[in-house]
């Protein structure tokens, strides 16, 4: 059963990163999750190196300068985020600061520290934090991460998870997504709603060109597909292996299901807003994927548009036992 015990928190010097750190500190329920924080220093372009170190070929000036940058960045992290003793006790180790592209570093760190999730700000210091857009680094991490990624939106110094919305497409990978959402709800004592959105053929007809050519009755579609959708919900729930002591609570949580018709991403975003969800859990492959990408169009739309925090679950997410043996 999925359970958050260790998380990776990539940090830059943005308000969004402060929010991510606060959210990470709230994870774990009664047994707080441990954290590994990290900061990636983007490599200097070749022309910068040539200007700063014209004689680098004769010595080690550039490497010494990189080492100084890393130490200064680590010290600045501690000052900016105010690493007190209480926070340090939650850390897996010292903050890791390394040269390299953020996307590659985050993926490397997630494997090195054996975390169950990556928690990061939805926008970074270079994104300006405008609206509900998705930062470039966050998007790259979503495309490549083998661990669930939590994109943190609004800042709350003492965040608490109360209500989780799990968006399911009821395809083969839905059980993995449900396991993560259900595991989070059980661990943190949350309410849970399972949502399936039946795509409407008119959802993308913004100019109204199809309305006169295509007849689509939402009520009729719901009625005809009701039994099949219920069976798919039931199959998905049955595929999640819940430990015996939690099965009754899990049955209670997964009994709240909802079916909507419309544009999947927009409908999920609206439903999360309507029920005041604290977290939306969705599979990375929800919707058609771009060539070579791991992120579907629906997942991307929800990650970009939701006002709630969004947890994107990649395929074949690893599960962890209920207790970790030291």
Helices and strands counted in the chain (H then E): 11, 10
Question: Minimal CA–CA distance to 303: which of 275, 274, 282?
Answer: 282
Is pLDDT above 90 for 209?
Answer: no
Supply the pLDDT for residue 129: 46
Supply the pLDDT for residue 321: 42
For 43-68, write each residue's pLDDT tens digit.
877 777 677 766 655 555 667 778 88
DSSP letter string over 92-149? Answer: SSSPEEEES-HHHHHHHHHHHTT-SEEEEESS-TTTTT-TT---HHHHHHHHH-SS-E
For 75-123, write each residue's pLDDT tens digit.
999 999 999 999 999 999 999 999 998 888 998 999 899 999 999 999 8
Supply the pLDDT for residue 325: 35
Domains of the chain: 6-313 (3.40.50.12370)
Arithmetic mean of pLDDT, 207-211: 55
Supply the pLDDT for residue 59: 56
Supply the pLDDT for residue 211: 60
Supply the pLDDT for residue 324: 37
β-pair partners for 166: 194, 281
Q: Say how far apart CA 260 and CA 197 lie, in whole Å.
A: 5
The tally of CA atoms less than 13 A away on the side-chain side of residue 237 is 21
Average pLDDT of the chain?
Answer: 87
For 228-275, write each residue's pLDDT tens digit.
999 999 999 999 999 999 999 999 999 999 999 999 999 999 999 999
Is pLDDT above 80 for 291?
Answer: no
Q: Say how far apart CA 161 and CA 146 lie, in whole Å.
A: 23
Question: Minimal CA–CA distance to 264: which of 178, 308, 200, 192?
Answer: 200
Supply the pLDDT for residue 6: 97
Q: Which residues of 253-280 are buried (b: 16+ CB within 10 A; e: fewer)?
A: bbeebebbbbbbbebbbebbeebebbbb
Supply the pLDDT for residue 159: 87
DSSP letter string over 14-52? Answer: SHHHHHHHHHHHTTTTTSPPEEEEEEEEPPPPHHHHHHH
Is pLDDT above 50 for 322?
Answer: no
Q: Residue 204 in 3-state DSSP? A: coil
**For the chain, what is the radius of gyration of the CA atoms?**
22
Asked if residue 132 lies in contact with residue 305, where contact means CB atoms within 8 angstroms, the answer is yes
Is pLDDT above 70 for 131?
Answer: no
Q: What DSSP character marks residue 78?
A: H
Is pLDDT above 70 for 126?
Answer: no
Supply the pLDDT for residue 87: 92
Residue 59 dihedral angles phi and psi, to the nearest 5°: -155, -160
């Amino acid at each position: 059963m999925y359970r958050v015990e260790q998380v990776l928190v990539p940090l830059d010097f943005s308000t969004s990163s402060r929010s991510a750190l606060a959210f990470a500190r709230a994870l774990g329920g009664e047994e707080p999750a441990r954290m590994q924080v990290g900061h990636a220093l983007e490599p200097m372009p070749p022309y910068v190196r040539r200007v700063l170190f014209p004689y680098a070929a004769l010595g080690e000036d550039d490497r010494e300068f990189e080492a100084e940058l890393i130490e200064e960045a680590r010290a600045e992290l501690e000052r900016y985020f105010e690493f007190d003793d209480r926070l340090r006790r939650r850390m897996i180790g010292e903050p890791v600061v390394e040269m390299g592209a953020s996307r590659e570093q985050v993926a490397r760190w997630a494997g090195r520290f054996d975390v169950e999730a990556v928690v990061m700000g939805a926008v970074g210091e270079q994104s300006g934090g405008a609206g509900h857009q998705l930062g470039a680094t966050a998007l790259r991490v979503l495309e490549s991460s083998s661990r669930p990624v939590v994109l943190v939106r609004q800042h709350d110094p003492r965040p608490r998870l109360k209500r989780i919305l799990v968006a399911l497409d009821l395809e083969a990978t839905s059980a993995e997504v449900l396991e993560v959402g259900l595991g989070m709800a059980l661990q943190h004592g949350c309410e849970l709603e399972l949502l399936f959105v039946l795509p409407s053929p008119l959802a993308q007809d913004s100019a109204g060109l199809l309305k006169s050519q295509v007849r689509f009755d939402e009520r009729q579609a719901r009625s005809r597909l009701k039994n099949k959708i219920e069976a798919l919900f039931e199959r998905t729930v049955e595929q999640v292996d819940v430990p015996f002591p939690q099965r009754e609570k899990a049955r209670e949580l997964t009994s709240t299901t909802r079916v909507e018709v419309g544009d999947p991403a927009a409908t999920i975003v609206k439903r999360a807003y309507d029920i005041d969800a604290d977290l939306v859990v969705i599979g990375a492959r929800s919707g058609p994927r771009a060539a070579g990408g791991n992120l579907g169009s629906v997942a991307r739309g929800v990650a970009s548009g939701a006002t709630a925090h969004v947890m994107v679950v990649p395929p074949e997410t690893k599960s962890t036992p209920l207790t970790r043996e030291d």
